[in-house]
Structure 1
């Protein structure tokens, strides 16, 4: 099996190798516990975080195979956070199908997320790397998990908006994006650099890349309910129903005319039903030109992310990281 993985990785089929490793780790089981964890992991998305991890390892001169168990681990951490997010937000859809909590109930969903979190450490322990490197990777993931939790708490303080108005929350939004989303991208890239034998400076460079891509990813993710290009795989009204001031909404309140600011304030006041809230926000976001501005700012953040990639020794891998940056801000889900 190891030889087959090496051949596939050399052939460039990293997504399929990662998917295969995820399937093997969460193969169907006859007991309820196995069913729960398999269901949660059965439909991985674009696998950006694990792809960034193995590609970061290659970008510093290492091999993807050494980083593969950690790539599996980072996807477990990501999916666990989604399972818990769906509980917090009350979302019943995830990636186009019932969320874990919608299908199995809140109690089992909590257990599922916890189980995936614990198993990620077991996966990291399987990395064929020196013990001190494995410990450093565990530290990266643990720090990212703590940041994610801090980001969740900060996000809850933004909802509903304060009396100062949504426009005052742009800095808070960026802090939430850095903690709740970008921290895991950062950890994936730093872990890959460590497992690839990179220097401290290279780990910092890739960590900065991951941070900026993560923020850009979240900025663009918040545009999806207002774009016509596809489905996000979760209810479009989720953020609206939770009165969450997202990136384009905040831009609309900052840059729009009075009618757009008022539309945002009324929408986030909690006096409308979720569908009406989303429609009011869409009026503000589209009518104010915030959609274009928000998209441009996300792409600018992506350009910042890739600026220093040519400094890395693995030029082919660095080019792949640049392409991943493009995907992060040009997708339909």
Structure 2
């Protein structure tokens, strides 16, 4: 057993340590091991590979923490936490197909390891499995149905966000508010579903559920902002993803959009050239890095992500508190203090 989460005051300045001290992630991983044992069938093998990849399981941890933050029972909501991880991993598998990414969490992505057809089928299987998992919550029907609705809505929002992201390609002049809308849908949706479902299943009142939802929206947006910053903050060996992937896909990430707002005509032309598709991914990324570094755009983008997290912390004040709220605060801080 790891350190007790009740020791949280000693770890308050270290969100990664606080998260590691919680037994929630270990319990979730053990539950996934139990549900997807080795040596079943091929889809089981691919699902196990996708689900048990290295990772912090932030979204299912947030669901459990939100439930506990309003006085709920961890054991009763654990199946819902498993369900949210199914949806998250399925979205990653499909995302890697769309983007053609070869790396995920520091190892071969599912479509690279098993092929695109198996990746599509496995993602679909995980999405369908999440509804079965949600029905296993040992709670009355009304909150379970509300959780099903929240997760289903999140799945649709995620798809809408993915489609909106495709509309932004090659456009470094994308308005910041349009980027934020995309981030709230594509990335924030699952954070929102996790916290809203957790608060509902934990028995939270209307005000508490709304606060948990606002908190998750802010954390999800900041998480995407920081995710976009990672290629400029660390090497591929650290982040576990290709630094030139977004540039190769002609995607205007958050620091690029920030840079465009800071740039003069010459630098705006360079940003457009980097996302034009006329250069190799490596050349495009090198050009973006040069412009962003010179303008100080990485630092400004990081400051905006940090401000989003400060607002998220204020939303937590509505929740009763305790270990669950402290764990949510740690996840919020970790969203912008991580290297992968």
Separation of aligned partners in 1, 2:55 and 2:22:
18
TM-score by length of 1: 0.93
Q: Counterpart of 1:285?
A: 292
1:231 is paired with a residue of what secondary structure? helix
Q: Counterpart of 1:303?
A: 310
Residues 47-67 of structure 1 deviation map (CA, whole Å, 9 limit, x = unaligned):
110111000001111122211
- 2:48 aligned with 1:41, yes or no? no
Q: Counterpart of 2:98?
A: 88
Separation of aligned partners in 1, 2:137 and 2:5:
16
Residue 42 to residue 12, structure 1, CA distance change in 2 (3 Å): closer
1:223 is paired with a residue of what secondary structure? helix
- 2:151 aligned with 1:144, yes or no? no
Question: Which of 181, 206, 214 in structure 1 is aligned with 2:187?
Answer: 181
**RCO comparison, higher one (Cα < 8 Å, 6+):** 2
Query: Structure 1 residue 14: deviation in Å?
Result: 1.2
Query: Structure 1 residue 9: deviation in Å?
Result: 8.7
Larger CA deviation: 152-161 vs 182-191: 152-161
Matches within 5 A, 1:111-260: 111-161=121-171, 166-228=172-234, 231-260=238-267
Separation of aligned partners in 2, 1:104 and 1:316:
40
Separation of aligned partners in 1, 2:29 and 2:54:
8
Larger CA deviation: 143-152 vs 38-47: 38-47
4+ long deviations beyond 6 Å: 8-11
2:239 is paired with a residue of what secondary structure? coil
Separation of aligned partners in 1, 2:297 and 2:214:
27
TM-score by length of 2: 0.91
Q: Counterpart of 1:101?
A: 111
Query: Structure 1 residue 141: deviation in Å?
Result: 0.4
Query: Structure 1 residue 100: deviation in Å?
Result: 0.9
Q: Counterpart of 2:17?
A: none
Residue 61 to residue 173, structure 1, CA distance change in 2 (3 Å): same
- 2:319 aligned with 1:316, yes or no? no
> In the alignment, is the contact (CA less than 8 A) between 1:224 and 1:231 conserved in 2?
no
Gaps of at least 5 residues in structure 1 are none
Q: Counterpart of 2:76?
A: 66
Question: Which of 273, 287, 295 in structure 2 is aligned with 1:266?
Answer: 273
Q: Counterpart of 1:330?
A: 337
2:55 is paired with a residue of what secondary structure? coil
- 2:4 aligned with 1:16, yes or no? no
Gaps of at least 5 residues in structure 2 are 7-20
Q: Counterpart of 2:18?
A: none
Separation of aligned partners in 1, 2:234 and 2:113:
28
C-alpha RMSD of matched pairs (Å): 1.8
Larger CA deviation: 36-45 vs 116-125: 36-45
Separation of aligned partners in 2, 1:239 and 1:51:
28
Figure out how many residues of one structure are paired with residues of the other and give that number.
324
